[in-house]
């Protein structure tokens, strides 16, 4: 059965699989809330064998001048275009059904996109929403990846993950958060798990992707295989250790971060803001405010 969002241009097309059990949507998009590509890597790892059950209208959601499709030129011939996309994949896990909503963060029509997501939640009978994200933070690569959470109600976060930080924190909104708030306001239980990525690391950070999948597994009480990510994380750790040991200033800085981690001191809101502002400046984006 096909459903489409009622707008001048249909925003999505959906096939509803039969006989669903406790369906849960896991969502991740690229953008500033995807430090180290951790959340999109985790989503891709989780959904790679799942069939696509929903696609979204890219022409309505993306600015192709700022997010250009990739062109492949083979022997002087224009061969193939790869367009930014958002898909929903069906991934049966153990005794329940997961749906992974992932891809490029939309440039346009966030309100309509959130409305479409809510309609999909209702059509599929989704009982829970899990957002996956990653933020830059003053944490060392030599210690376990900290995970902080958001939740629409008390008691929803699992595995010892805490809401945080306390107090009011103002940051540039991500489309992912708009979706989470929309489905939560309609009554769906919604949580977010956010890995803290060392702010001195550039490029993909598979260790954080692995920890996000572990957090998700604890949340849904299912063990999610992460062997490939384990191997990539080990290789990355080796490279970072070598780079750190070769520079005394970096080595000293990492040692200070290790001391903070060993004290089990959570970063304050002001510290998170400082790390996020540095990250956004590097990306040429906007800043943050704290009250």
Give the Cα separation of 229 and 206 in Å (integer). 6
Which distant-in-sequence residues (6+ apart) come within 8 Å of 231 by Cβ?
A: none
For residue 61, the tally of other CB atoms under 10 A from its CB is 26
Query: Tens digits of per-residue pLDDT, 116-132?
Result: 999 999 999 999 999 99
Contact between 25 and 126 under an 8 Å Cβ cutoff? The reply is yes
Q: What's the confidence (pLDDT) of residue 247?
A: 84
Angle at 175 between CA 101 and CA 95, to 5 degrees: 25
Does the pLDDT of residue 93 top 50, yes or no? yes
Q: What's the confidence (pLDDT) of residue 6?
A: 47
Least confident of 41-55, 191-205, 244-258: 244-258
Task: Specify the 3-state DSSP secondary structure of 62.
Answer: coil
Which distant-in-sequence residues (6+ apart) come within 8 Å of 198 by Cβ?
A: 136, 137, 138, 139, 140, 141, 205, 257
Average pLDDT along the chain: 88
If one compares 216 and 265, the residue with the highest pLDDT of the two is 216
Contact between 89 and 52 under an 8 Å Cβ cutoff? The reply is yes
Q: What's the confidence (pLDDT) of residue 9?
A: 60
Share of the chain above pLDDT 90, in %: 71
Does the pLDDT of residue 283 top 70, yes or no? no
């Amino acid at each position: 059965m096909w459903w489409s969002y009622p707008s001048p241009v249909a925003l999505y097309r959906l096939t509803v699989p039969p006989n669903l059990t406790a369906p849960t949507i896991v969502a991740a998009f690229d953008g500033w809330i995807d430090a180290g590509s951790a959340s999109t890597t985790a989503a891709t790892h989780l959904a790679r064998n799942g069939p696509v059950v929903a696609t979204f209208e890219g022409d309505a959601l993306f600015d192709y001048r700022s997010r250009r499709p990739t062109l492949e030129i083979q022997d002087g011939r224009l061969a193939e275009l790869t367009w930014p996309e958002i898909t929903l994949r069906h991934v049966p896990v153990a005794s329940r059904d997961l749906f992974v909503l992932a891809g490029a963060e939309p440039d346009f029509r966030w309100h309509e996109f959130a409305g479409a997501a809510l309609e999909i939640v209702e059509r599929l009978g989704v009982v829970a929403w899990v957002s996956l994200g990653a933020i830059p933070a003053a944490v060392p690569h030599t210690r376990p990846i900290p995970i902080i959470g958001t939740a629409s109600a008390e008691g929803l976060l699992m595995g010892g993950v805490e809401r945080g930080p306390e107090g009011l924190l103002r940051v540039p909104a991500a489309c992912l958060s708009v979706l989470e708030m929309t489905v939560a306001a309609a009554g769906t239980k919604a949580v977010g798990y956010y890995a803290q990525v060392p702010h001195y690391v550039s490029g993909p950070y598979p260790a954080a992707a692995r920890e996000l999948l572990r957090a998700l597994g604890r949340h849904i009480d299912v063990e999610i295989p992460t062997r490939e990510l384990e191997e990539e994380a080990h290789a990355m750790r080796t490279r970072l250790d070598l780079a750190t040991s070769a520079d005394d200033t970096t080595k000293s800085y990492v040692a200070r971060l290790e001391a903070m981690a060993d004290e089990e001191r959570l970063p304050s809101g002001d510290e998170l803001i400082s790390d996020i502002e540095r990250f956004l400046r590097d990306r040429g984006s906007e800043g943050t405010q704290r009250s």
